[in-house]
Amino acid sequence: MKTPLISVVVPIYKIDRYLGVCIESILNQTYTNLEILLVDDGSPDRCPEICDLYAKKDARIKVIHKQNGGLVSARKAGILSATGKYIGYVDGDDWIGPGFYYSLYASIQESDADVAIAGFSRDLFSKRKNILNGVMSGVYSGEALEELKSKMISNGDFFSHGITTYVWNKLFRREVLLPHQLACHESITIGEDAAVTYPTLMDCKKLVVTDNCAYHYRQREDSMLKQSSDYCEEFKRLQGLYDCMITELKGYPGKYDLNQQVDDLVLSTYIIRSGGSLKCEDSDLAFFPFGEDINGKNIVVYGAGTFGQQLVRRIKKENKCNLVAWIDDDYWEYRRCCVDVDSIEIINNCQFDKILIANLAKVAIDEIKDVLANYGVSESKMVSVSVDPRLKQRALEIYLKQSDGSLLG
C-alpha cells in the first residue's frame, strides 16, 4: 500500500553554509514519499542558487522564491503550497536523521493520532544532548489528553513545558495545522513556534509523544551570542505573541487554565531574555527570580546560555554585587564566540558567597548541583530560580503596571 505524502517545509534565510547538509538529510529519509518545499525568504547569500541546484537533482523538491518577510511568512508560503496529508518543518540550518519521518509516521499510523511529537538533539559543535518533552512518551486521548492540555504550555515548574514549543520536531495532519499557521501574525518574532504549536494541539483529538530525538537542532555560533534589546522593544514583541496566543486559545473551557499557562510562558520568556530582573519605574516593586538578596556579595554565575548572558549583563550594569567568575561546562565553545567564560575548575581559586545557576530546567539544575558538590561547594551556596508563587505574583504586578493591564490578564 502506498504511503501518504509528507510535505516538509524548509524556511531559508542567510544559511548557505548549512543548507546543503539540511537538504541532503531530508533527501536521505527512509520515508521516501516526500514533497520538499524550499522557501527562499529573499536570502541575500547563495541560498537561492543552492535551492535551484537541488531542485534540478530531485523531482520531490519545489522551490519558492519570495521577498523577505520573516520566519512566519516563509512558513505560511510553504504550507500554502504543500499538498501532503502530513506537514513537517525543518529549519534550514538544522538536519534530521534518516529515520526521523518514518518513525513519526509509524507512530501516527499505530495510534491514529493527529500529531506525532518528538524530542530533539541539541548539537553544540562537538557535543550533542538529547532533549525530551516534559511528559511521558505514549498516546494521549480522552482523560489523558484533557490532563495534558492543562499542562502542555506550563508544566507547573517555572518555565517548564509539558510539550516543547517547536513545530519542527513534530509531524501534523495538514487540516489540523493549517488554520493555526495561517492565523499566526507575521509580525511575531519571539515565540513563532509556540503561537502555532499550542493552538494546534488544542484541536487534536489524539496525539502521540515519542522519544525520537533524530531532529538535530544546530546551535550556531551567531545564535549563541545574545543581544540585549531595548526594554520597550522587547516588551512589544512579547505582547504580540501574547495577543496572538490569547486570541487563538479563547473559547476553550476554563478547566485548561490556558490564560495562566500563556501568562507563565510570556512572563518567563521575558525574564530569561532580560537577565531575570524586573523593575517598575514609578514604584518600589522589583523582582529577582533567585529569591535571595545578592547585593554586596561575591557572585559566581553558572551558565552561559541566553539566561546566563543576560544575567551577567544585568549584574555588570547594576553594579550591586561583585561578579568574581562566570563558568559553564561548554566554556570553550562559548569562548570560540568571544564570550568570556571559564571552566568550573576556576571556582577552586576564587572566593564567593553564592553561585547563581542560570538555568530553568529542573533536571539540568539538579545535574549542575551534583557537579558543584563534587567540587566541594556547599549546597547553601547554590542558588537556583525560585518558583515561589509570591515571587511570580510580584512579577505579574510589575508587568501589569508596565503594560497598563494590556499584556497579562
- Assign residue 37 the CATH number of its domain: 3.90.550.10
Tell me if 202 is assigned to some domain: yes
pLDDT at 408: 41
The letter for the amino acid at 113 is A
Tell me if 240 is assigned to some domain: yes
Query: By residue range, what is the domain housing residue 247?
Result: 231-285+389-403
State if pTM tops 0.75. yes
Facing residues of 63 across strands? 38
Average pLDDT, consecutive stretches of 10 residues, N- to C-terminus, the chain (409 residues): 94 96 98 98 98 98 98 98 98 97 98 98 85 96 97 82 96 98 93 96 98 92 59 71 91 92 84 67 59 87 91 86 94 86 93 92 88 95 78 63 49
**Do 375 and 393 have their domain in common?**
no
Sequence-distant (6+) residues with CB within 8 A of 317 are none
**Do 251 and 321 have their domain in common?**
no
**Do 172 and 246 have their domain in common?**
no
pLDDT at 289: 74
Tell me if 91 is assigned to some domain: yes
End-to-end Cα distance, the chain? 51
Tell me if 36 is assigned to some domain: yes
SS3 category, 239:
helix
pLDDT at 73: 98
pLDDT at 397: 65
Q: How far apart are CA 151 and CA 257, in angstroms?
A: 9
**Do 305 and 261 have their domain in common?**
no
Domain boundary among 224, 250, 268: 224
Tell me if 377 is assigned to some domain: yes
Q: How far apart are CA 403 and CA 225, in angstroms?
A: 28
Domain boundary among 181, 207, 224: 224
Give kind and range of the element (H or E) at residue 63.
Answer: strand 61-66
Domain boundary among 178, 203, 224: 224
Q: How far apart are CA 305 and CA 219, in angstroms?
A: 11
pLDDT at 231: 53
Tell me if 1 is assigned to some domain: no
The CA-based dihedral angle spanning residues 391, 268, 154, 112, taken in that order and rounded to the nearest 10 degrees: 180
**Do 181 and 310 have their domain in common?**
no
Q: Domain count of the chain?
A: 3
